[in-house]
Amino acid sequence: MNRILRIAGAQMGPTQRADTRENTLARMISLFEQAASKKVDLVVFPELAFTTFFPRWLLSGPELDSYFEMDMPNPSVQPLFDCARRLQTGFYVGYAELTPDGRRFNTAIIVGKSGEILSKYRKVHLPGYVEPKRENKFQQLEKRYFEYGDFGFACFESPQFKNAVLGMLICNDRRWAEAWRVLGLQNVELVCIGYNSAAYDPSGGDGEDATLRSFHSKLVVQANAYMNATWAISIAKAGVEDGAGLIGGSCIVDPNGQIVAEALTLKDEIIVADCDLSLCRHGKDKMFNFSAHRRPQWYGLITEQSGTLSPSHLPGGNENIA
Amino acid sequence: MNRILRIAGAQMGPTQRADTRENTLARMISLFEQAASKKVDLVVFPELAFTTFFPRWLLSGPELDSYFEMDMPNPSVQPLFDCARRLQTGFYVGYAELTPDGRRFNTAIIVGKSGEILSKYRKVHLPGYVEPKRENKFQQLEKRYFEYGDFGFACFESPQFKNAVLGMLICNDRRWAEAWRVLGLQNVELVCIGYNSAAYDPSGGDGEDATLRSFHSKLVVQANAYMNATWAISIAKAGVEDGAGLIGGSCIVDPNGQIVAEALTLKDEIIVADCDLSLCRHGKDKMFNFSAHRRPQWYGLITEQSGTLSPSHLPGGNENIA
């Protein structure tokens, strides 16, 4: 079986608070059509792709609710699903989900070539904080607006995508090696990621700038793709949204951690790559043959605790000099 | 308290099978003196620093035993310990350990400024295989010659090193995010690593060359240093040992994952950096504030199994479309 999956990233430029949903959908459909003209199987859109990155503001009431999708699809996004069916091309997209019982998640779905939802993921690693920080020009209120994802990290396969083992992450998740490893332990072959990452230090200080944050964004995708012998595609919403900068740096990375396609702008832009899924085998069979080389008996702290332990609380330590 | 630790990496060029221990020790002492002249606190030597990388050959009997240290220190390495005391400088060094009861490990120690052993680590992630592969020109027999390390990943602190929280890894360990995370969960501030990494595809094929393997070596150190907000120093034995190439690429990496010092040769070479330990705080307090952001309830596979599960064996997966 041919195991070359052609994928596209649809990096999006900024979406302003005042932009209409119709305008945003028109941009997405234009990107979708550009990608489909290159005969791709799957197009990856960013996190929270239908709206501006609203967690940067303290909001409530109707405006806050306007950023959430109560059904998926719904009339305002239906054109994207119709586009999938018309172009016979799948897509990944991130959106703010409001469930019928009032729960809110930062969610992504992969939609098949007939416009059917194939899998859904809810972001586990929510950055930011609950209470606004008065001293910050822009907030990072994801912990206020969303619950932690409750599905964990699951993979799925579909004959629509050459039976590639697909996994999803969202934005900050890509910085957490645990998330990648749980996908890796399910033999993942392509990790799809959308993000909105500030081009300034999101903690309000001046410890990070756009150059450093773009470096971090690529570094974690490259290294975690290599360490799990998987393809990865990491796609930004980029540019300046109502005065707040977002980095670009969308890229497609091979199982050696090498960038094979990369966005050059902070605007709407398509990147494309042919992913030979068989290239995952070298790493999965040799260096990262998990059953041959992993030693879970020494990984206990990873699941036993969330925060840090001081060294003196551990067995061993300075005692290991016998 | 001043929290700037000045460290050196003592990359070593090749050591041939016929080289004498005296010659190797003289090279190490020369490197140690060069580093100490720059007033460093700690010098990091490679993995298996006293000998050639002998797991590339099928060996037994007296020659195999000759590569192992039955005591540490012992008369043949005592000059290095004397050097530490004379120069009032600590060191990390890797060696093959043979215990009084006949157990064999790939081991590293950190030795204090008076020549005393402060901490010891035994390599957990042994690469390679037990039975030689006839088709390979060079073997990778670490799984034959060594037992898996039985200390896990412990950190320690010493006032000799500005109370930096120090952790050790050896060679292949640096490719395993779990090892770094267990150190990160102990608040590690400097990870010391020595390595011998083939400049050819160690699995015997042609899937990797020296350029790609050097890229991998730096990529994993940079990303894991960033993801754990720690300094790291990763030091090679490099060059051609009896026809078998080893990559160089020794480097010192800051908590942003940026290389601040890097070896330029495949020979004996010193690299030096001032590590401001306070720079770890930005990451540890913000992006990688583990207690605020980690979600261990979703990391279970990491400790429940060593090898991979197929997606269909997992709960969730395609069911997550409710």
pLDDT digit string (tens) for B144-201? 999 999 999 999 999 999 999 999 999 999 999 999 999 999 999 999 999 999 999 9
Q: What is the Cα–Cα distance from A154 to A168, expressed in whole angstroms?
A: 8
Query: Which one, of B230, B231, B265, B236, lies nearest residue B250 by Cα?
Result: B236
- Identify all chain B residues contacting A311, using CB atoms and an 8 Å cutoff: 154-157, 165, 186-187
Q: What is the Cα–Cα distance from B69 to A55, expressed in whole angstroms?
A: 58
A214 pLDDT tier (thresholds 50, 70, 90)? very high
**What φ, ψ does residue A201 adopt, rounded to 5°?**
-70, 110
Q: What is the mean pLDDT of residues A34-63?
A: 98
Q: Read off the pLDDT of residues A104-163 as tens digits, 9 standing for 90 and up.
A: 999 999 999 999 999 999 999 999 999 999 999 999 999 999 999 999 999 999 999 999
Looking at A83, A171, A251, A280, which residue is catalytic?
A: A171
CB B94 within 8 A of CB B48: yes
* pLDDT at res. B207: 83
Q: Do B294 and A311 touch (CB under 8 A)?
A: no
**pLDDT surpasses 60 at B311:** no
> Kind of pairing, strands B190-195 and B165-170?
parallel
Reading the block at residue A321, the tokens are 């000099």
* pLDDT at res. A319: 47
Q: A159 at the B interface (CB within 8 A)?
A: no
B275 classed as catalytic: no
* pLDDT at res. B174: 98
Residue type, B172: N
**pLDDT surpasses 90 at A204:** no
Q: What is the Cα–Cα distance from A223 to B219, expressed in whole angstroms?
A: 6
B102 pLDDT tier (thresholds 50, 70, 90)? very high
Sign of torsion over alpha carbons A236, A239, A240, A246: positive
ipTM for this prediction: 0.96
Residue that wins the pLDDT comparison between B207 and B65: B65
* pLDDT at res. A276: 98
* pLDDT at res. B310: 62
Reading the block at residue A144, the tokens are 């206020």
Q: B288 at the A interface (CB within 8 A)?
A: yes
Long-range contacts made by residues A202-210, C-beta under 8 angstroms, separation at least 24? A202/A127, A202/A128, A202/A138, A202/A140, A202/B286, A203/B282, A203/B286, A203/B287, A204/A133, A204/A135, A204/A136, A204/A137, A205/B282, A207/B282, A207/B286, A210/A245, A210/A247
* pLDDT at res. B1: 57
Torsion from C-alpha of B81, B85, B91, B97, nearest 10 degrees: 20
CB A125 within 8 A of CB A175: yes
Q: Do A227 and B304 touch (CB under 8 A)?
A: no
Report which DSSP code applies to B237: B
Interface size A-B, in CB pairs within 8 Å, comes to: 262
> Kind of pairing, strands A90-98 and B4-11?
unpaired
Query: Which one, of A153, A221, A229, lies nearest residue A189 by Cα?
Result: A229
Q: What is the mean pLDDT of residues A4-13?
A: 98
- Identify all chain B residues contacting A215, using CB atoms and an 8 Å cutoff: 256-258
CB B311 within 8 A of CB A186: yes
- Interface probe for A, chosen from B253, B287, B291 (most Cβ of A below 10 Å), is B287
- Interface probe for B, chosen from A136, A219, A282 (most Cβ of B below 10 Å), is A219
> Residues A225-253, buried b or exposed e (16+ Cβ, 10 A)?
bbbbbbbbbbbbbbbebeebbbbbbbbbb
Query: Which one, of B59, B96, B62, lies nearest residue B77 by Cα?
Result: B96
* pLDDT at res. B315: 45
Residue of A nearest to B185 (CA): A308
Task: Residue window 44-103, chain B: list those with CB within 8 Å of chain A.
Answer: none
**What φ, ψ does residue A11 adopt, rounded to 5°?**
-65, 140
* pLDDT at res. B53: 98
**pLDDT surpasses 50 at B64:** yes
**pLDDT surpasses 50 at A322:** no
Q: Do B305 and A296 touch (CB under 8 A)?
A: yes
Q: Read off the pLDDT of residues A296-318 as tens digits, 9 standing for 90 and up.
A: 999 999 999 999 986 554 444 44
Note the pTM of the prediction, 2 decimals: 0.96
A22 classed as catalytic: no
Q: B229 at the A interface (CB within 8 A)?
A: no
Q: A298 at the B interface (CB within 8 A)?
A: yes
B203 pLDDT tier (thresholds 50, 70, 90)? confident
Q: How far is A316 from chain B (nearest CA, A)?
A: 6
Residues in chain A: 322
Q: What is the Cα–Cα distance from A288 to A265, expressed in whole angstroms?
A: 34
Q: A276 at the B interface (CB within 8 A)?
A: no
The chain-wide mean pLDDT, for chain A, equals 95
Q: What is the mean pLDDT of residues B32-39?
A: 98
* pLDDT at res. B309: 80
As a whole-number percent, the residues of chain B with pLDDT over 90 amount to 93
- Which of the residue ranges A278-282, A305-309, A310-314, B278-282 would you say has the lowest mean pLDDT? A310-314
Q: What is the Cα–Cα distance from A278 to A261, expressed in whole angstroms?
A: 19
* pLDDT at res. A310: 62
- Identify all chain B residues contacting A227, using CB atoms and an 8 Å cutoff: 175-177, 220
B316 pLDDT tier (thresholds 50, 70, 90)? very low
